[in-house]
Structure 1
Amino acid sequence: MPALPVPVVTIGLLVLSNIFMTFAWYGHLKFKAAPLAVVIVASWGIAFFEYLLQVPANRIGHGHFSAAQLKTLQEVITLTVFSGFSVLYLGEELHWNHALGFVFIGLGAFFIFHRWS
């Protein structure tokens, strides 16, 4: 069985790591009564699993992608995961200005990934 292509593995690991990190950073917002110290320790525990995916993603992807491209992938994936999380988990709405801001970030990603000759 052939190995998966580097971009598929890298992006897959980044998506999974972002799911963990989004819960680590924002999941506690539904539990405002929880003591801050408990929230911090729980968030660190969740972030540990994020690092188990993020570090290999960058290690595997570097060489195929530049560091700037890896960071850009990370940010685009972060916004995509966060958008879903915000709507589905936190019950918040996304508005036109959020969409427009994401379009501008996508435009920035285009400039990072485009091969300029």
Structure 2
Amino acid sequence: MPTLILLIISNVFMTAAWYWHLKGGPEVANARPIAMVIAVSWGIALIEYCFAVPANRIGYAQGWSAGQLKIAQEAIALIVFGVFMVTVLGEAVTWRHFAAFACIMAAAGFLFLGK
């Protein structure tokens, strides 16, 4: 459970680091100086790493494989991004988002099957 909680927190920061600067649309995003966007994103990503690295170490010590840790992270990232996309960026969720989610969840299922 600590692994999943840390991965969720990590992914909230990761999503913010990668996509915060898109809020407001292309005109607003393009008006932000790229060097400033990169610097702010790196600062946010540092916080993300402070959660991701312990999550992976704890999970690995508890018997998760590297592949299981990665696919769990991807599944969590998709959920967190979906919420961010709708609530912060104001974009709609389509059937393609659900299809992609199903594929990632199937991949997670394959790696955890029989564990």
TM-score by length of 2: 0.91
2:103 corresponds to: 104
SS at match of 1:80: helix
Moved more, 95-104 or 85-94: 95-104
Unmatched 5+ stretches in structure 2: none
Cα shift at 1:63:
3.2
Moved more, 66-75 or 24-33: 24-33
Structure 2 distance, partners of 1:52, 1:20, is: 10
Structure 2 distance, partners of 1:109, 1:103, is: 10
1:27 aligns with 2:26: no
Moved more, 22-31 or 76-85: 22-31
SS at match of 2:90: coil
Structure 2 distance, partners of 1:68, 1:100, is: 22
Q: Deviations over 1:7-62 (max 9, x none)?
A: x1000000001000100000111251210000000000000000000000001110
Which aligned runs of 4 or more in structure 1 are off by greater than 4 angstroms? none
Which has the larger helix fraction?
Answer: 2
1:87 aligns with 2:80: no
Unmatched 5+ stretches in structure 1: 1-7
Cα shift at 1:69:
0.4
User: What is the 5 A alignment of 1:1-117?
Assistant: 8-30=1-23, 31-32=28-29, 33-64=31-62, 65-115=64-114
SS at match of 2:92: coil
Cα shift at 1:88:
0.4
Structure 1 distance, partners of 2:86, 2:37, is: 22
